[in-house]
């Protein structure tokens, strides 16, 4: 829509999790580094949590890309499954033949055989679960039993859980204490600070083909940073709407007025009552 007006090759603030747009901001870069180190050390359970819109799914996709050459991966994007369906989903991801399996015990046995075969290839197997806060309790317990599959010297399956803060609350339940005790590393994604928001906008614009001077005036940056609370998804929405407002007026620089218009048009933006002071 406004790409040609600003000298862009594509839309810079789409909400789809495109790994090319990943910015190694302090929190997100640290989370990725922790994941890679922990998986290299063959740790069992790793948990990454964060508020809605902080970039968990993007980080999840990036992790899968990083692991592709060095590990076998299984990815479950929607874990709101029964225990039996979870086993079937994991088996499908690992390429397990289930035609002769009539019950959950046989499915687990087939998965175990596949994991042992993978271990012989000297490549770890990593199960990555997104939106893990949606897992029913009985499915979480089934997941714990799945990780009991190991030899005397090798952990056959590592698990990475990505979820909203509700996942932390869920795992603190007494009934799930056995799994919670197995989580050896946990990282909570933090929102972007003001400097990181500015970096984030520049990075996405550059990835979209922009190579000119800063498009966002400092006053617009401040408003977007404050109104978004540093949540990347909200930063994207406000930046996109600000650029639309500037394009609609034929302006080449996104200024405070454009950002205010974007904030007024976004119900989830923070501090709407302060906008009047910024005019």
Give the pLDDT band (50/70/90) at residue 260.
very high
- pLDDT (0 to 100) of residue 88: 92
- In this structure, the answer to whether residues 175 and 200 fall within a common structural domain is no
- Which of 155, 188, 221 is the endpoint of a domain? 188
Flag whether 37 is in a domain. Answer: yes
User: Measured between alpha carbons, how far is 220 from 235 in angstroms, rounded to an integer?
Assistant: 12
Contact by Cβ (8 Å): 89, 81: yes
Contact by Cβ (8 Å): 35, 61: no
Residues near 139 by Cβ (< 8 Å), separated by ≥ 6? 79, 81, 82, 83, 86
Flag whether 21 is in a domain. Answer: no
Task: Tell me: pLDDT of 28 over 80.
Answer: yes
Task: Tell me: pLDDT of 108 over 90.
Answer: no
Supply φ then ψ for residue 236, to 5 degrees.
-60, -45
Contact by Cβ (8 Å): 24, 196: no
Closest CA to 200 of 258, 239, 164: 239
- In this structure, the answer to whether residues 40 and 124 fall within a common structural domain is yes
Flag whether 18 is in a domain. Answer: no
The 10s digit of each residue's pLDDT in 35-68 is 999 998 888 899 999 999 999 999 999 999 999 9
Task: Tell me: pLDDT of 217 over 70.
Answer: yes
Count CB neighbours of 251 within 10 A. 14
- In this structure, the answer to whether residues 92 and 41 fall within a common structural domain is yes
The 10s digit of each residue's pLDDT in 143-155 is 988 887 766 567 8
Straight-line distance from the first to the last Cα atom of the chain, in angstroms, rounded to the nearest whole number: 27
Give the pLDDT band (50/70/90) at residue 172.
very high
Its domain, for residue 154, covers 26-188
- pLDDT (0 to 100) of residue 271: 67
- pLDDT (0 to 100) of residue 44: 80
- pLDDT (0 to 100) of residue 63: 95
Give the pLDDT band (50/70/90) at residue 274.
low
Task: Tell me: pLDDT of 279 over 50.
Answer: no
């Amino acid at each position: 829509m406004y790409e040609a007006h600003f000298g862009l090759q594509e839309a810079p603030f789409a909400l789809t999790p495109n790994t090319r747009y990943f910015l190694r901001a302090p929190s997100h870069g640290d989370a990725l580094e922790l994941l890679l180190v922990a998986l290299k050390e063959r740790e069992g359970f790793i948990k990454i949590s964060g508020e809605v819109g902080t970039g968990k799914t993007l980080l999840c996709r990036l992790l899968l890309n990083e692991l592709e050459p060095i590990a076998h991966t299984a990815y479950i994007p929607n874990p709101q499954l029964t225990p039996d369906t979870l086993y079937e989903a994991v088996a499908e991801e690992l390429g397990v033949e289930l035609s002769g399996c009539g019950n959950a015990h046989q499915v687990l046995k087939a998965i175990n055989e596949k994991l042992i075969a993978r271990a012989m290839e000297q490549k770890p197997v990593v199960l990555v679960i997104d939106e893990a806060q949606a897992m029913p309790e009985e499915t979480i317990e089934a997941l714990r039993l799945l990780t009991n599959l190991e030899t005397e010297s090798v952990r056959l399956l590592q698990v990475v859980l990505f979820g909203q803060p509700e996942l932390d609350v869920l795992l603190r339940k007494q009934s799930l204490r056995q799994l919670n005790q197995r989580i050896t590393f946990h990282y909570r994604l933090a929102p972007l600070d003001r400097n990181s928001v500015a970096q984030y906008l520049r990075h996405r614009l550059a990835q979209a083909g922009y190579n000119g001077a800063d498009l966002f005036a400092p006053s617009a940056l401040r408003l977007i940073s404050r109104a978004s609370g540093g949540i990347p998804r909200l930063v994207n929405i406000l930046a996109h709407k600000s650029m639309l407002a500037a394009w609609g007026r034929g302006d080449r620089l996104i200024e405070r007025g454009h950002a205010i218009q974007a904030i007024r048009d976004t119900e989830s933006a923070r501090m709407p009552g302060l906008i009047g002071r910024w005019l």
